[in-house]
Structure 1
Amino acid sequence: MLDLQDIKRLYFIGIGGIGMSAIARYFLQRGVEVHGYDRTSTELTRALEAEGMQVHYDEDVNKIPAGVDLVVYTPAVPTSHAEYQYFLTQGTPIKKRAEVLGIISRGMKTVAIAGTHGKTTTSSLTAHLLRSTGVDCTAFLGGIARNFESNYVLGSSEWVVVEADEFDRSFLHLHPDIASIMSMDADHLDIYGDAETLLNTGFKAFAKQIKPGGTLWLQHNLTTHFDATTAYRSFGVEGGDYQAHNIRVEKGYFVFDYLSPEREIKGLRMPLPGRHNIENATVAMSIALQLGASDEALRDGLEAFRGVKRRFEIIHRDEEVAFFDDYAHHPTELNAAIGAARELFPAARITGVFQPHLYSRTRDFAEGFAEALDGLDEIYLLDIYPARELPIPGVSSEMLVKLMRNPNVHLITKAELLPALQKNKPEVLLTLGAGDIDTLVEPIGNWLKSLKPEKV
């Protein structure tokens, strides 16, 4: 078995990934020398370099340092990668990111947040609430939590919060004390093949990984997929044993009451918009209460939550325009983001910029994407971001346009987008997608800020 104490020099293939970089930060804080490769320089990789890691951007084995004790790689990088093959021939120990996270968490008490949607915000909020209410937990997150300005948080207690990723069955390396399953929509069918296999060999298998005496929190609509042999606590919005109800909007904020078999907490203010975020808060609060949080500390902690970068993140807002950026890359996530914008701005014209992510996902959920995007008043559609995939014949953004009923849809390149927005100034703008659409956020935000000072 790998002994993490023996590692002096570590190498990451794909160090700029959000999950990879969290683990890299963990080792760096433990005094390990960290090196890595990524395809492109990003804000995150530059931050890693500023923290003291050595990162290069060429697939070049000559840039690999001598004496690497362990290689960590992400399945998003093909095994044909020159550096992966180099380490293979050298006999250097190589492990997937998920395996290493499993080893790290093995000696700790673990809270694992799973689900095809909601896990990043929920794990970030859970870590924030625990730390706000007396549990100084460590956390490995799938996004940059604004309260920490990082995807990794070092704590001093025995508890760790981790985002449990279903991609490549990564979460089966975890053995949590407390786990939550937020959603189980079909996704990653390039890995699982079909929704039934995702359910059985993915989420149900994950539920069986919980330690004896541990707790499984299930979104209440998912309970029908589990039989009487699975012990769980259900949660949700207007449903489940632990629930949010009496949801309303007061002074521009969502407000709700929390109800459980043990207590009722009234008038909780949720800083993030959307009912999906209230559901995320419901299970995060329930876990914090399970670990001893007081009602008032929980209320204060919830109000202080600043969200996660690229999860309905407010980029700019003044009296005339509001601009939000969201990581949504599945029809369910698009519906949640667009629905949240509609609730906040019921009378406004809502414009969306969407970059589909992966050819296989676009093919598998084409009708769902088209239906979700039809919920916008105007849509600018970018080319598919391929990530780890090669093109699939017949699969393109134009395919989605043909399925849409919305007459106000424009196929556009990234270079053409800003001039188009400047010509047709939006009232509410959403940038949506998991590819490199985030590189457009800063120039759009700077343009909007140049028009009028931001609302204070």
Structure 2
Amino acid sequence: MFSKKIFNKIPKMKNINHIYFIGIGGSGMGGIATILAKQGYKISGSDLFSNFIIKDLTLLNIKIYFKHDAKNITNNIDLVIVSTAIKNDNPELITAKKLNITILSRAQMLAKLMKFSYGITITGTHGKTTTTAMIYEIYKLAGLNPTFINGGILKSSKKYAYLGSSKYFIAEADESDGSFLHLKPIINIITNIENEHLDFYEHNIEILKKTFLKFLKKLPSYGCIIICIDNIHNYDLIKKNKHLLKKNIITYGFHKDADIQLFNYNQNGYKTSFFLLEKKKNLYLKIKLNIPGYHNVLNATAAFAVSSYIGLNYSIILRSLKKFQGIKRRFDILGMLFPYKNINNKKNIIIIDDYGHHPTEIKMTINTARKIWPNRNLIMIFQPHRYSRTKNLSNEFVKILSKVDKLFLLKIYSAGEKFIKNANSEYLFKKIKKLGIIKPILIKSKNYYIIINNIYSQLIGNEILIFQGAGDINNISSLLMKYKFKNKKINNQNL
């Protein structure tokens, strides 16, 4: 059972004062930097570009360098935290090693912060960020004042990290490079397991599943595993290894064998409802959400399960889920505009920004949009993310991207990866065009206003315009909404 009276202050690290982050602008890195700054440590760091996280960090008097330079690493730095995106030849990392400064990965630092807390981690290919946010908001409404670190910004509070005063520590855990094995939570949620980041796992999903199993085995005997068995790999993982996992296990989903079984999913515009049966307690509840999507029903159920497990009041859980506003860049409706070609046309264009960069996520985005607006044309601007992902999932990308009414393909966002042949936007363009379902449009320019003009000039109204991807595509959608064209084309003077 939960307790509001038990408070836990994360102990300060001995002989550590100044902490430097290499790659501080990532959501996970920025969240940890925020928590440590709030604890009183001196924080500084570097990144190549500014973003909303860096702007937030500067408000905490954190010094940030916009270049990875060996000169930034000085003898007065006691600890260096390194992002997973940083390569071994990084000059700051090399200098830190020469100066014998202690170096930790992001996950190792997160593990240190969580060590003395009641850790709740959320893992899986999709849904981690939204589920983490839902749990945080439930616990917050219940008066538990938890600490949390997330991969996205909550719309309600504009937070992605918060230093609470209770024992509860809620964090999104990244499986992309196996670093989540450093974490030792008490409760872990697995939303799903899919073909993602397999370049790290020898292109073998069975190795990825074994890594998840290794992680689950590390939970204490009094811990709890909460897992969605609608996902075939989750179901297989639990079915084959339940005898090895001597912990509490709670399964959820629409599957008939789920401990928390779902029924009657209904999407009415932007609102969602479904029924939930908690079998062990013979409890039947109706859940209402103000965010759309089948996937969010599953995310909400995971949040319900972890809240019910520690004994939170059901009315608080349901109220929090109904109030949940969502995460920025997750099916984020930015607003609307009118087409350029006919200024008298009253048929508007709805603009959506979505972070999804995996075929399954894109499928959910498309299905949700079709469900809400069945009579509108669906136009997608897609920016592929990483050469490795594009190569590994090219057939899946071609299939799902062909399901929109019109597709614009932007240049691939490499995320620091080296070029791989037949794994870029041009390759997807040729494959989709050859399939013959739609006629894709390839935009080769990287200039934001040229991209917007190319797209905007072809809009006629009554459309859903979805900016899809995890790279810098949100800069384009933000620019579009900033000017809204005022019924004229954007130009250099507007910028």
Q: Same fold (TM over 0.5)?
A: yes
Q: 1:172 to 1:447 in 2, by over 3 A?
A: same
Answer yes or no: is 1:400 the counterpart of 2:409.
no
- Secondary structure at the residue paired with 1:296? helix
Within 2, Cα distance between the matches of 1:335 and 1:41? 31
Within 2, Cα distance between the matches of 1:95 and 1:102? 10
- Secondary structure at the residue paired with 2:152? strand
Question: What is the aligned partner in structure 2 of residue 61 from structure 1?
Answer: 70
Q: How many pairs were matched up?
A: 451
1:8-407 residue pairs with structure 2 within 5 A?
8-221=17-230, 222-226=234-238, 227=240, 228-229=242-243, 230=245, 232-237=249-254, 239=256, 240-250=258-268, 252-261=270-279, 262-317=281-336, 320-404=348-432, 405=435, 406-407=437-438
Answer yes or no: is 1:436 the counterpart of 2:445.
no
Question: What is the aligned partner in structure 1 of residue 440 from structure 2?
Answer: 409
Matched-pair contact (CA < 8 Å) for 1:78–1:388: no
The letter for the 1-side match of 2:253 is: G
Offset from partner CA, 1:316-344 (integer Å, 9 cap, x none)? 14772221111111111111111111111
Once the two structures are TM-superposed, the CA of residue 177 in structure 1 deviates from its matched residue by 1.0
When structure 1 is superposed on structure 2, of 351-360 and 213-222 the one drifting more is: 213-222
Q: 1:295 to 1:429 in 2, by over 3 A?
A: same
| Structure 1 residue runs without a partner (length 5+) | none
Q: For the pair shown, which has the larger CA radius of gyration, 1 or 2?
A: 2
Within 2, Cα distance between the matches of 1:399 and 1:251? 36
Cα RMSD (Å) of the superposition? 2.0
Offset from partner CA, 1:175-210 (integer Å, 9 cap, x none)? 111111111101112211123344344211111121
Within 2, Cα distance between the matches of 1:429 and 1:104? 41
Offset from partner CA, 1:194-236 (integer Å, 9 cap, x none)? 2334434421111112111211111113222232313521111
Within 2, Cα distance between the matches of 1:305 and 1:311? 13
Q: 1:308 to 1:159 in 2, by over 3 A?
A: same
TM-score calculated relative to the size of structure 2: 0.87
Within 2, Cα distance between the matches of 1:244 and 1:433? 30
Within 2, Cα distance between the matches of 1:321 and 1:422? 10
The letter for the 2-side match of 1:161 is: I
Within 1, Cα distance between the matches of 2:28 and 2:269? 36
Matched-pair contact (CA < 8 Å) for 1:265–1:295: no
The letter for the 2-side match of 1:321 is: I
Matched-pair contact (CA < 8 Å) for 2:149–2:160: yes
Q: 1:263 to 1:139 in 2, by over 3 A?
A: farther
Matched-pair contact (CA < 8 Å) for 1:24–1:34: yes
Identity of aligned residues (%): 30
Once the two structures are TM-superposed, the CA of residue 395 in structure 1 deviates from its matched residue by 2.4
Within 2, Cα distance between the matches of 1:317 and 1:160? 38
Within 1, Cα distance between the matches of 2:229 and 2:86? 36
Offset from partner CA, 1:17-42 (integer Å, 9 cap, x none)? 11000000011001111100101122
Once the two structures are TM-superposed, the CA of residue 366 in structure 1 deviates from its matched residue by 0.3
Within 2, Cα distance between the matches of 1:325 and 1:195? 32
Matched-pair contact (CA < 8 Å) for 1:237–1:275: no
| Structure 2 residue runs without a partner (length 5+) | 1-10, 338-346, 489-495
